[in-house]
Structure 1
């Protein structure tokens, strides 16, 4: 029975090698069956029911591979299985209005003649490979496909990480010149972004290192060289994220110290004012009680004498504070 597949289930399909290199694969071609003599790439939206049905019923993959390709949650990894390699990689989310740390996952199975990948959200790195294929410069083997995909995923992280570093530098400068409490939330956002990115990139580094193992026979020497270069870039980006995280933490501590110092200075001034007016309030309150016998009540110069007395009290307080070096 011919398997019917909705056209939206298959995102991309191309022949990577042979006489039909660069030829697009349609859902009708899938229904008829694809020759295993030439290398092909099929890229599915795993949330589509028809895509799930085709992978489960027609892909001839092992159950563990099927589960991995259709899994909702996944962690970056590279696993050598019978007949091929199972990959799960992530790239930054560059969709407009989205958070870069909300990374997009792509799951890939490769064997000698097939590349089957799945995703939920659009991934620009997959579009890059399509552009290379259309320009007749695309990968011709599964190993070359993985090397190209990993390279594009890591390359697209550069701008995001550089923007994060620039923001940290701007905040570091602003902390030295500004007194804005809003900087605290900006630093917290940067630290959260750096931590989130690193949380996904660290296991991806391990996956990239596993791809360079001698056991991965699907990769040529050139593929291993490209994977090694890509891994070096990834490690550098992880180190940059560590630096961003540490710089943000130090900047946040400096900001908290400066804000605490400002608060302490203001509280100090208020304490001095309160200390000065404390005895004045005592004397004015004492002489303001409504009972008989208040000294100077009948003397017309009593008010001026009392003001002079208060001035003397304030002068003595100021002298005492200076002696004690309280200001």
Structure 2
């Protein structure tokens, strides 16, 4: 059986080194020295490998690692912890808010992670180990990974905040054309982010409260900082949701005002041309006895009368406040 469902594996500590081969990796995970393996979550071979080589883990933990659907959570089991968190999707051609789940089992002797799609934060951890700069303990691994996930989330949230500022600026400058779809897309992204950020913050809060030998005081401090940052990012997302809702309402208000203005203009035009249309229709019925039918100047007299009537109607509409002359702007 090919081992390509195993993406990479490393030992932790001073003698950190890459591991190759299914049996070697399985043996390293049973040693007292900590080791890390990263698997493909949606590959059936990962399920079989976990059942065959990690049968010492509780069955509930093994099932959770390969579950189809996950939400951010933390569950302490003995000296270990089962952690599901999400990272922003920075893969080419995909949306950052389509967050990628990473399932983690960590105890003092082993770390098992699984993802369905490539995740930059996990790749960053791999690069640290490849460069000989990886964390030395499982607790430190969790702290660094969570910090990396949170930092990338923060970068995307900042970009979303800047985009919202740009939308507000365009609206204030009267450039509302085309803003509707962009606001809708931004609101959808905010909803997707919020759906996972709130439970992720709670999961990290539970993680740094886990007792036992897994986490050092420094690890707990780093996780507390990550939780604080996630709380701040969540507050920004909440603010963005409200701001985008206000922008949506403002766009709708401007659209309604434009529609009402157009209807108003049509009403004024109808008020002017309705009597004119009636008169021209009446004079055009082409029946015997029409006044002026044999008088050559009749057409011009009738046209002048219509013009005079138009002026009278406009004067009346202006006097009644229905129409107003727009003053020229005095700005340079």
TM-score bracket, shorter-length normalisation: over 0.9
1:228 to 221, 224, 244: 224
What do you get for the CA RMSD once the two structures are aligned?
A: 1.7
Match of 1:201 in 2: 197
Pairing of 1:1-327 with structure 2 (within 5 A): 6-17=2-13, 20-30=15-25, 34-59=29-54, 60-213=56-209, 215=211, 217-327=213-323
- Contact persistence 1:209–1:231 (CA under 8 A): yes
SS in 2 for 1:156: helix
Match of 2:328 in 1: none
Give the whole-Å Cα distance in 2 for the aligned partners of 1:213 and 1:28. 35
Shift of 1:307: 1.6
SS in 2 for 1:137: coil
- TM-score normalized by the length of structure 1: 0.93
* Offset from partner CA, 1:203-248 (integer Å, 9 cap, x none): 0000011012153552110001000111111111111111211111
Shift of 1:15: 0.6
**How many correspondences in the alignment?**
322
Which consecutive residues of structure 2, in runs of 5 or more, have no partner in the other structure?
A: 324-332
Give the whole-Å Cα distance in 1 for the aligned partners of 2:221 and 2:31. 27
Give the whole-Å Cα distance in 1 for the aligned partners of 2:256 and 2:49. 62
Give the whole-Å Cα distance in 2 for the aligned partners of 1:105 and 1:113. 23
Shift of 1:63: 1.0
- Contact persistence 1:44–1:117 (CA under 8 A): yes
- Contact persistence 1:76–1:90 (CA under 8 A): yes
